[in-house]
Amino acid sequence: MKKVALLLAFIFTVSAGFSQQRKRMHKADNLTPQQRTTLNVKRLVVALDLTKEQTNKIERLYTKMANKRMQHMQKNRKKNAVVKEKMLKIKKASKDRADFKKRVEIAIKNGELKKEDLQIARRRGVNFDTANRALDNRIELQSQMKKILTAEQYKKFKNLKKRRLAKTKKRKMAMKKRTEMKRKIEKKRHHAKKRRLERNR
């Protein structure tokens, strides 16, 4: 009984944390690309002590990059929606999981779906095109920033980037741990339910 109570308390705590995290993620979505650009540029002005000319150049650069990113995001959303729609049709037509897999394989052979589409549908793995484009954008940003900033400012800029990447990596690891914990809890809950059903037979 104590174990069940502790498990329930833990589940409520974890679920509350996830809902708060989702709220924070949605807050970030409320900002327009222009607002994000303005905030990022102002942070750089404070951190790097930029001149007016540098500020204007960086703002134009960030706006250009944000617009490019938005175009790719919209294109990917449309593509993902089409893939999800195709997968949903196959799922509705399928009798069970094995039938679904067979139908997906047939769709791939017929050219209706691609293997990359399955990765998109599952949200697993790294898409080469997306990763390549992101790295190209980073390289372009770095080369442009090198032209705009002085050597000392560029060094500070690189340090800021490193810190931000480390912070992001730490956050991702924490999220991964939470997700694993959630899966373990779900698995335990599933097994406990299974045992209860077997006892009741």
pLDDT, mean over the chain: 83
Higher pLDDT, 165 or 127: 165
Q: Angle at the Cα of 164 (from 58 to 45), degrees rounded to 5?
A: 30
Exposure class string for 142-165: b at 16+ Cβ within 10 A, else e: eebbeebbeeebbeebeeeeeeee
Higher pLDDT, 76 or 150: 150
Locate 108 and state its tokens: 């791939």
pLDDT at 55: 95
pLDDT at 112: 83
> Is residue 188 very low, low, confident or very high in pLDDT (cuts 50, 70, 90)?
confident
Locate 164 and state its tokens: 């931000």
Q: Angle at the Cα of 59 (from 169 to 165), degrees rounded to 5?
A: 10
Exposure class string for 23-46: b at 16+ Cβ within 10 A, else e: eeeeeeeeeeeeeebeeebeebbe
Instruction: Confirm if 100 and 94 have CB atoms less than 8 A apart.
Output: yes
Q: Which residue, 142, 145, 181, is CA-closest to 15?
A: 181
Higher pLDDT, 9 or 58: 58
pLDDT at 130: 80
pLDDT at 121: 61
| CA Rg value for the chain | 24
With a cut of 90, say whether residue 57 has pLDDT above it. yes
Higher pLDDT, 13 or 127: 127
Q: Which residue, 30, 55, 28, 54, is CA-closest to 41?
A: 55
pLDDT at 124: 59
pTM, two decimals, is 0.63
The per-residue pLDDT for range 87-137, each reduced to its tens digit, is 888 888 888 888 888 888 888 888 888 877 776 666 655 678 788 988 999
Higher pLDDT, 149 or 30: 149
What does the pLDDT average to over 175-197?
88
* 31-35, 125-129, 149-153: segment of lowest average pLDDT: 125-129
How many angstroms separate the CA atoms of 51 and 59, rounded?
12
How many angstroms separate the CA atoms of 127 and 197, rounded?
42
Locate 58 and state its tokens: 């960086």
With a cut of 60, say whether residue 26 has pLDDT above it. no
pLDDT at 11: 60
